[in-house]
Amino acid sequence: MTRTCRLGLGVAVLLAAAPATANAQPGVYLPGAGATHAGMAGVSTATPIDAIGALYWNPAAIGRLGRNEASIGGAFVYPEIYVSSSRPAPLQGTVLSGRTRSDNGFPLIPTLGVVSKLDEESPLTFGTGLIALGGGGVNFPGDANNPILSPTGPFGQVVLGPTFANMQLLQLTPTVSYQVTDRLVVGVGPTVDITFVSFDPAYFAPPNQIPGQPNTFLAATDSRPFWGGGVRAGLVYSVTDALDVGFGYTSPQWLETWKFNTRDNLGNAQTLSLKASLPAIYSWGVAWRGIDRLTLGVDMRYFDYANTDLFGTPTSEGGLGWESAFAAAVGGNYQLTDRVAVRAGYQYNTNPLENTRALFNLQSPAIIQHTISVGTTMNLTEAMALSVGYAYGFQNEINGVVDRIPNTNVGLEASSHSLLFNLQIKFGGAWGGAAACPPAGEAVVAAP
């Protein structure tokens, strides 16, 4: 039997695993990757200082990197996610409540980027990245003192207990840019998406109804990797020798229907299916290098979740009910010496979840809104540089009632600590043509 899944209000909690893993994040997307890029809060639309950052938001940015480079990096993330709930207990004349932490461990989110010209004087630049755009989820243990995680739920009607969700989103980004003039670079490329998802219980599926017993939910853990794709395009324009502007566009990402093999309480085979897509992303950026050894950048982004399957679908129609999100980031990179650079950044993003939808996002608490990050790069040799950094996602929380039932509440809290790293390997000589952004760890002198 195949069940096309539809979330109803009586199901109680939600579905799509989200990356409540690192930093402030507008929904499922992480703001940056590696110590160089994420150390500047993901600023790179017009400010590429390593291969990963050049590939992340704007495909044209690879043409401004200035040198062939391979960069491998990532983040070790320590998320702190809590769920709390309360319900009335009329027989006791009180309200039962509890608060439980998700055991997410200390996951690694890796990223790889390579950018190169076939000829140093060529107007064409090629790049490819394998980018972990998002990852994580929740792992709440059963908790008899927390109604939403108690063995038979808040009102003894369904079996709940432990709640687990996991989603990993990887994106392959083959990219090419073209130097149109000394001041204008354009870029384009396809995206290939790979998603790994699992949920237990599968709150999005109809429960097993057993006469005389609490209903039980199926598990949605037996599945395969799911593929998807889209396209990207962008440009970088040098207004002056010290001022660049950039724009990047990522199309909505089509995803295969997620399908899971499972069984009901009698062992009968079941197939669950869930349709999802990822939002269009619009990125704007400004870079300024008017002071010796200093690079400053500002990025703004719009994530169109409201027009996606699953994330933007109203909760009354079986979705998450997310709103579209806006993010703004500012970052700076300063060259202390010829071998050492330091950087810092800050990002703010709006919350795609409303308080009233906290119940429906127990398995997707993407609610962090403020992140600060710091980092440093040291040139180990002329061709190799090591970067490390740290990012903190400030605690945020949302609360909502359970279907307008008085004295009920479900709350979500999330914050995070991230240890950032990446290794850059530079090869070949400096590119010819238009002036490029200085790679991380290399000094820049302001134009006269």
Q: pLDDT tens-digit profile of 99-157? A: 999 998 888 889 999 999 999 899 999 999 999 987 668 899 999 888 888 887 655 67
- Look at residue 387 in the predicted model and tell me its pLDDT: 97
169 vs 354: CA distance, rounded Å = 24
Percent of the chain having pLDDT more than 90?
A: 55
- Look at residue 275 in the predicted model and tell me its pLDDT: 92
* pLDDT exceeds 70 at position 363: no
- Look at residue 133 in the predicted model and tell me its pLDDT: 84
With beta carbons less than 8 A apart as the criterion, state whether 191 and 252 touch: no
Percent of the chain having pLDDT more than 70?
A: 84
168 vs 134: CA distance, rounded Å = 6
296 vs 345: CA distance, rounded Å = 10
Neighbours of 224 (CB within 10 A): 11
Higher pLDDT, 13 or 243: 243
- Please measure the distance between the N-terminal and C-terminal CA atoms of the chain and give it in whole angstroms: 72
Parse the chain into domains and list their residue ranges.
2-427
* pLDDT exceeds 50 at position 263: yes
Per-residue pLDDT band at 26 (split at 50, 70, 90): low
Per-residue pLDDT band at 30 (split at 50, 70, 90): confident
Closest CA to 279 of 246, 257, 247, 301: 301
Coil vs helix vs strand at 9: helix
- Mean pLDDT over 224-251 rounds to 97
Q: State the SS3 of 212-227.
A: CCCEECCCECECCCEE
Per-residue pLDDT band at 301 (split at 50, 70, 90): very high
424 vs 129: CA distance, rounded Å = 14
- Look at residue 204 in the predicted model and tell me its pLDDT: 80
- Look at residue 13 in the predicted model and tell me its pLDDT: 41
With beta carbons less than 8 A apart as the criterion, state whether 380 and 331 touch: no
* pLDDT exceeds 50 at position 203: yes
Per-residue pLDDT band at 217 (split at 50, 70, 90): confident
User: What digits encode the pLDDT tens for the residues 33-79?
Assistant: 889 999 999 999 999 999 999 999 999 999 999 899 999 999 999 99
* pLDDT exceeds 80 at position 91: no
Per-residue pLDDT band at 446 (split at 50, 70, 90): very low
192 vs 162: CA distance, rounded Å = 33
Query: Is the overall model pTM greater than 0.85, yes or no?
Result: yes
Closest CA to 288 of 398, 446, 395, 100: 446
Per-residue pLDDT band at 311 (split at 50, 70, 90): confident
H/E run at residue 51: helix 51-56
- Look at residue 440 in the predicted model and tell me its pLDDT: 57
With beta carbons less than 8 A apart as the criterion, state whether 65 and 401 touch: no
Per-residue pLDDT band at 4 (split at 50, 70, 90): very low
Question: Regarding the domain delimited by 2-427, which CATH topology (the fold level of the hierarchy) does it fall under?
Answer: Porin (2.40.160)
Q: Which amino acid is residue 231, in one-letter code? A: V
φ, ψ at 38 (rounded to 5°): -70, -25
